[in-house]
Amino acid sequence: MKGTVYRSTGLWYIVKLESGQFVTCRLAGKNRLTAGKLTNPIAVGDVVILDDDKDGNDHVIIDIEDRENYLIRKSPRKTEHSHIIASNLDLGIFVFTKKLPRTSQGLLDRFLVACEAYGIPVLILFHKWDIYDEDEKMELEKTIKLYGSLGYEAMVSSIEDPLSMETIREAIKGNTSLFFGHSGSGKTSILNKIFPGLDLRTSELSGFSNKGRHTTTFAQMFDLDEESRVIDIPGIKEFALEDNIENYEISQFFPEIRDSGRECKFYNCLHVNEPNCHVQKDLAEGFIDLRRYKSYLGLIEESDFKKK
């Protein structure tokens, strides 16, 4: 039998069979030993092969089909391990909030790098537009223009704005989409607004920290219609790239640095302090955004630290 993983708790999996039936599964013991440096050998979105156990009581995952892509990060708990957030994605949706809670541009850039690395299209939502003052909106409009110029689809949104909610609904249609962002950024509220039947659980921000509380405990996928699925995941506080991305590869996942770097004198230029670096020239002339370049440097420094 074949099916798709809709929920993972770490020990048990909810799988939707090709027949449409949902079954509870466990992972065959031998597969636990082949996970390598992954904290989760099976992720939401995986297409898996099932068999019954010898007593016929449970379904057992005995194999996994090749993934078309996946979103992965360094495990926040296990050193030298990575964690697959979800797989086989058509769209990654990043929910950015300037406040309540504040999202850093660095987190957005890390998400974009991870999606670039595995070929996942992105939609950036600059959300809670209705709570910002005019100065904040002007600043965000510059950021939206920046990411649009880099080829990313970016838009403002608010659950109070029916047009933006309808635009998101159309973007999701026919796709398997992942919502990504901090707890309290509004991911679940957006889903409840455009698909009221989901009735997902939300919570208010913490009054002490203005940070969101985790209301989603495990990654879980939901059917929106016959062709559309969405994955809701726990809010992300930090996002470290997996260890196997080398420092010389990172520039390839920043479109503007990749393009400018083709004009560098040295083919292996890291665009940090090398002579005749075209990226440094474009940065000085304002063709590369300084905040994006700082995100790039942060990832280079992390990569170098891992090697020590």
DSSP state of 238: -
How would CATH label the architecture of 70-232? 3-Layer(aba) Sandwich (3.40)
Give span(s): CATH 3.40.50.300, the chain. Answer: 70-232
In CATH terms, the fold of domain 2-64 is OB fold (Dihydrolipoamide Acetyltransferase, E2P) (2.40.50)
What sign for the dihedral angle of Cα 190, 191, 196, 200?
Answer: negative
**Residue 217: its pLDDT value, please?**
56
**Residue 306: its pLDDT value, please?**
53
Q: Are 42 and 60 in contact (CB under 8 A)?
A: no
CA distance 111 to 114: 5
**Residue 110: its pLDDT value, please?**
95
DSSP structure string for 195-235: -GGG-----PBPTTTS-BPP---S-EEEESSSS-EEEE-PP
Give span(s): CATH 1.10.40.50, the chain. Answer: 247-306
In CATH terms, the fold of domain 247-306 is Ribonucleotide Reductase Protein R1; domain 1 (1.10.40)
**Residue 152: its pLDDT value, please?**
98
**Residue 55: its pLDDT value, please?**
62
Give span(s): CATH 2.40.50.140, the chain. Answer: 2-64
Coil, helix or strand at residue 3: strand
Q: What is the number of residues in the chain?
A: 308
Q: Are 17 and 61 in contact (CB under 8 A)?
A: no
48 pairs with which residues across the strands? 3, 64
**Residue 35: its pLDDT value, please?**
54
CA 44 to chain centre: 13
CA distance 136 to 192: 26
**Residue 56: its pLDDT value, please?**
62
pLDDT average per 10 residues of sequence, the chain (308 residues): 91 92 85 65 95 73 94 81 93 97 95 95 98 97 97 97 97 97 92 86 44 57 93 86 84 97 95 96 97 96 66
CA distance 171 to 192: 16
Cis amide leading into 101 (omega within 30): yes
138 is written with which tokens?
């002007």
